Amino acid sequence: NAGVTQTPKFQVLKTGQSMTLQCAQDMNHNSMYWYRQDPGMGLRLIYYSASEGTTDKGEVPNGYNVSRLNKREFSLRLESAAPSQTSVYFCASTQNLGGGAGEQYFGPGTRLTVT
């Protein structure tokens, strides 16, 4: 049982390049999330997927797109990377048993630098 996995662990991009961050969970959770964390800062929600087939914007969605490929996988795409997107990206999942968001399980993160 691997929990939440993310690839890649590290990435360096040039301004304008695109890339997709991959996330998968094996806990049969219905909801998945993408957060970014800047140095010394808290977690900011980029996008989330409450259930398979749905996606919604979080606090900071500009410059990103997401795909909920199936129940297990939730990817985050940067179409044209900018230096302001340099950050650590965390994927998380939770079961969400009808009463709102429950405890979240986080992946190890992707450390992205945009030059």
Interface residue list for other proteins (CB under 8 A): 31, 33, 40-43, 45, 48, 50, 58, 90, 92, 94, 96, 99-109
As measured in angstroms, the least distance from the Cβ of 59 to other proteins is 9
- In the bound state with other proteins, the residue whose beta carbon lies nearer, of 50 and 69, is 50
Distance separating alpha carbons of residues 91 and 46, to the nearest angstrom: 10
Smallest Cα–Cα separation from 53: which of 66, 42, 44? Answer: 66
Give whichever of 63 and 108 is closer to other proteins, judged by the CB atom: 108
Yes or no: say if 57 and 49 are a contact pair by the CB < 8 Å rule: no
Smallest separation, CB 43 to other proteins (Å): 5
Tokens of 114: 């945009």
